[in-house]
């Protein structure tokens, strides 16, 4: 089988860091697209990295998970930098500093952000003269597929005290034309506010991306395969999802029980009606991927295996114990994706139930898959995630992901007899030596791309872990402190990049 040249292109050999925008230092409670994002790009350049991976940047909903967003297209209002709005004359400094944004420097207090951020952004909106500018008009035109629907969705959601759309009045829940017209008229100013918020996010993102790219660094974005039920996407395009005549989910997404989870994982996202999507040539997916390529240089598709075969759980089942595997669209969808992303590239998160069909699609597309070294730390020697067992270069190797323990956290409570294999494999004698030895080994591997969690460079324990899968509350809160830059051995990290040919070409 001949693979198109575009699909055969591999990622440049290099190293990068997994660092969410939310986790950047900031005096305003959460990381933003302001000066600290630029400083982090400078840091990446100083250690020879050419990739910066972020978590999804959509507006977060209940539980604060970036993987459960109000939109598959919109940006997170929390990431709009308030100091930039001050320089633009849209805010006064004291209007920002009057709020107590955080309890501690290294943890996000989402309740405070939710309470204060929109008040401040509303002040900026009221002073803005963006509406008649050519830049705003072009932004609205370029994002016409989703922007009006999202702005209306958010305005109506606020009208109904932030309740999910399933609890709205029936006429607007079902999007009758009369109701849509009535709410569009009634909430016109609120709708304009949400467009303004997205405009400002995109302005700041474009400037941020230009700076990062100017440093020779590519941004790896992350998109979940599925979308949240409480999203503008499902509300507007319910015919594309497995919903009944009352717009209630029939089956939901997840994965079955395994060695790590007795009940499996019931994510609860509505499943796609792939047959309906295929009938209009995957228009929604094409638009989604085009929008993602406008943000990122490389797009990591979370739960990629669901494109080939996905697990369907009846909505009435409270766990993932009952369900069945069904066939996904496979190459039909990846062809649509490739035609939609321009010069962007794809990483396939192929962790989980990797079948022969998944491997075949990976081979056809040429997408690099993933290896997580943490999974192989206890052996055996033929474990597929240990670097000496990598079969080819076209892959992305991680110390761990946002769903895993930090390296120090993983090692912390392990007995020496449990770590005996790791001591031998990485040629060290103590637990304290292992994190750096693990990172060094990953850098020396044949994998084209190596990604290290920032927490692992900092050698932080599980108090800095981003997420405990299948739990709600307490996740997505970690933030780096400004002082922690001083704890890093920049020269040692830079040496790794040059020693193992991962630094930018001179």
Looking at residue 3, its pLDDT comes to 44
Whether the CB-CB separation of 397 and 445 falls below 8 Å is answered with yes
Alpha carbon distance 77, 109 (integer Å) = 15
Query: Which pLDDT score is estimated for 506?
Result: 67
CA-based nearest residue to 427, from 441, 413, 409, 442: 441
Tokens of 242: 């497995």
CB atoms near residue 114 (< 10 Å): 13
> Which pLDDT score is estimated for 2?
42
**What tokens appear for 290 in the block?**
């085009």
What mean pLDDT is predicted for residues 341-370? Answer: 95
Report which of 451, 440, 455, 448 is spatially closest to residue 499, judged by C-alpha positions.
440
Domain boundaries, the chain: 1-53+366-506
Does 7 score more than 90 pLDDT? no
Chain centre to alpha carbon of residue 227: 12
Query: Which token pair is 451?
Result: 């990604």
Where residue 228 falls among pLDDT bands split at 50, 70, 90?
very high
| Dihedral pair phi/psi, residue 447, rounded to 5° | -55, 135
Q: Is the pLDDT of residue 366 over 60?
A: yes
CA angle 385, 390, 391 (to 5 degrees): 140
Q: What is the pLDDT of residues 442-500, one digit of tens each?
A: 999 999 999 999 999 999 999 999 999 877 788 999 999 999 999 999 999 999 999 99
What's residue 242's pLDDT? 98
pLDDT over 60 (residue 263): yes
For residue 442, what are the CA distances in angstroms to 11, 378, 404, 446?
A: 16, 16, 17, 9
Q: What is the pLDDT of residue 4?
A: 46
What pLDDT band is residue 6 in, cutting at 50, 70 and 90? very low
Structure tokens at 319: 């766990």
- Could you read off the pLDDT of 55-65 as tens digits, one per residue? 999 999 888 99
Q: Do you find a cis peptide bond into 380, omega within 30 degrees of 0?
A: yes
pLDDT digits (tens, 9 = 90+) for 49-86: 999 999 999 999 888 999 999 999 999 999 999 999 99
User: Structure pTM?
Assistant: 0.96
pLDDT on residue 373: 97
pLDDT digits (tens, 9 = 90+) for 237-260: 999 999 999 999 999 999 999 877
Mean pLDDT taken over the chain: 95
What contacts 48, CB < 8 A, 6 or more positions away? 15, 493, 494, 496, 497, 498, 502, 503, 504
The DSSP 8-state label assigned to residue 80 in this structure reads S
> What is the tens place of the pLDDT at every residue in 150-209?
999 999 999 999 999 999 999 999 999 999 999 999 999 999 999 999 999 999 999 999
Q: Is the pLDDT of residue 345 over 60?
A: yes
Residues 195, 197, 199, 203, Cα dihedral to 10°: 180
156, 168 Cβ separation under 8 angstroms: yes
Q: CA dist 338 to 6, 71, 223, 341, Å? A: 8, 22, 15, 6
9 falls in which pLDDT band (50, 70, 90)?
A: low
Q: How many CA atoms lie within 13 A of 65 on its CB side?
A: 19
**Angstrom distance (rounded) from CA 494 to CA 504:** 11
Active-site amino acid positions:
302, 349, 403
pLDDT, tens only, 293-342: 999 999 999 999 999 999 999 999 999 999 999 999 999 999 999 999 99
HEC states along 399-459? CCCCCCCCHHHHHHCCCCCCCHHHHHHHCCCCHHHHHHHHHHHHHHCCCCEEEEEHHHHCC
Q: For the stretch 118-134, what's the b/e string if a residue is b when 16 or more beta carbons lie within 10 angstroms of its beta carbon? A: bebbebbbeebebeeee
**How far is 159 from 180, CA to CA, in rounded Å?**
13
Instruction: Quote the pLDDT of residue 117.
Output: 97
User: Is 11:465 a contact under the CB 8 Å cutoff?
Assistant: no
User: 3-class SS at 66?
Assistant: coil
CATH architecture under which domain 1-53+366-506 falls: Alpha-Beta Barrel (3.20)
Percentage of the chain surpassing pLDDT 90?
Answer: 93
Task: Give CA separation, 444 vs 216, 236, 249, 437, in Å.
Answer: 21, 48, 47, 11
Q: Residues near 233 by Cβ (< 8 Å), separated by ≥ 6?
A: 71, 72, 73, 146, 227, 284
Please report, to the nearest 10 degrees, the dihedral formed by the alpha carbons of residues 403, 454, 296, 384 taken in order.
-50
What phi and psi, each to the nearest 5 degrees, are found at residue 389? Answer: -100, 0
Using the CB atoms, write b or e for 395-415: b if 16+ within 10 Å: bbbbbbbbbbbbbbbbbeeee
Angle at Cα 299 formed by Cα 395 and Cα 345, nearest 5°?
A: 65
In the predicted structure, residue 505 carries a pLDDT above the cut 90: no
Rg of the chain in Å (alpha carbons): 23
The pLDDT of residue 1: 40
What is the pLDDT confidence band of residue 19, given thresholds at 50, 70 and 90?
A: very high
CB 295 within 8 A of CB 210: no
């Amino acid at each position: 089988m001949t693979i198109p040249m575009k699909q055969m292109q591999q990622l440049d050999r290099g190293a990068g860091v997994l660092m969410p925008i939310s986790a950047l230092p900031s005096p305003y409670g959460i990381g933003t697209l302001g000066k600290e994002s630029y400083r982090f790009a400078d840091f990446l350049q100083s250690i020879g990295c050419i990739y910066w991976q972020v978590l999804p940047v959509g507006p977060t909903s209940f539980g604060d998970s970036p993987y459960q967003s109000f939109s598959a297209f919109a940006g997170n209002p929390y990431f709009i930098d308030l100091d930039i709005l001050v320089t633009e004359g849209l805010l006064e400094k004291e209007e920002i500093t009057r709020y107590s944004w955080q309890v501690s420097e290294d943890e996000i207090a989402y309740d405070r952000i939710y309470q204060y951020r929109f008040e401040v952004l509303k002040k900026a909106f009221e002073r803005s003269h963006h509406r008649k500018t050519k830049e705003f008009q072009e932004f609205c035109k370029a994002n016409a597929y989703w922007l009006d629907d999202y702005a209306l969705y958010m305005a109506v959601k606020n009208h109904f005290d932030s309740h999910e759309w399933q609890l709205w009045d029936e006429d607007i829940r079902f999007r009758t034309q009369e109701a849509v017209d009535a709410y569009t008229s009634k909430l016109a100013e609120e709708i304009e506010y949400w467009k303004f918020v997205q405009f400002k996010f995109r302005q700041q993102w474009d400037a941020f991306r230009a700076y990062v790219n100017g440093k020779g660094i590519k941004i790896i974005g992350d998109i979940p395969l599925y979308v949240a039920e409480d999203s503008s996407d499902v509300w507007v395009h319910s015919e594309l999802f497995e919903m009944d005549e009352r717009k209630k989910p029939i089956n939901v997404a997840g994965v079955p029980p395994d060695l790590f989870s007795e009940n499996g994982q019931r994510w609860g996202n509505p499943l796609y009606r792939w047959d309906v999507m295929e009938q209009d040539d995957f228009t929604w997916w094409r638009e989604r991927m085009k929008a993602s390529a406008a943000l990122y240089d490389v797009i990591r598709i979370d739960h990629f295996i669901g494109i080939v075969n996905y697990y369907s759980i009846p909505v009435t089942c409270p766990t993932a114990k009952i369900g069945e595997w069904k066939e996904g669209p496979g190459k039909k969808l990846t062809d649509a994706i490739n035609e939609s992303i321009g010069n962007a590239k794809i990483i396939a998160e192929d962790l989980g139930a990797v079948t022969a069909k998944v491997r075949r699609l990976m081979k056809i597309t040429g997408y690099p898959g993933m290896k997580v070294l943490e999974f192989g730390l206890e052996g055996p020697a033929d474990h597929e995630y240990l670097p000496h067992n990598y079969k080819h270069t076209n892959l992305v190797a991680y110390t761990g992901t946002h769903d895993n323990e930090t390296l120090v956290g993983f090692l912390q409570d392990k007995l020496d007899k449990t770590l005996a294999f790791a001591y031998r494999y990485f040629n060290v004698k103590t637990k304290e030596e292992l994190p750096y030895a693990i990172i060094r080994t990953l850098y020396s591997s044949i994998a084209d791309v190596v990604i290290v969690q920032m927490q692992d460079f900092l050698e932080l324990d599980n108090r800095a872990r981003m997420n405990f899968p299948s739990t709600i509350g307490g996740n997505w809160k970690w933030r780096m402190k400004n002082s922690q830059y001083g704890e890093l051995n920049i020269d040692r990290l830079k040496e790794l990049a040059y020693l193992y040919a991962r630094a930018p070409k001179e």
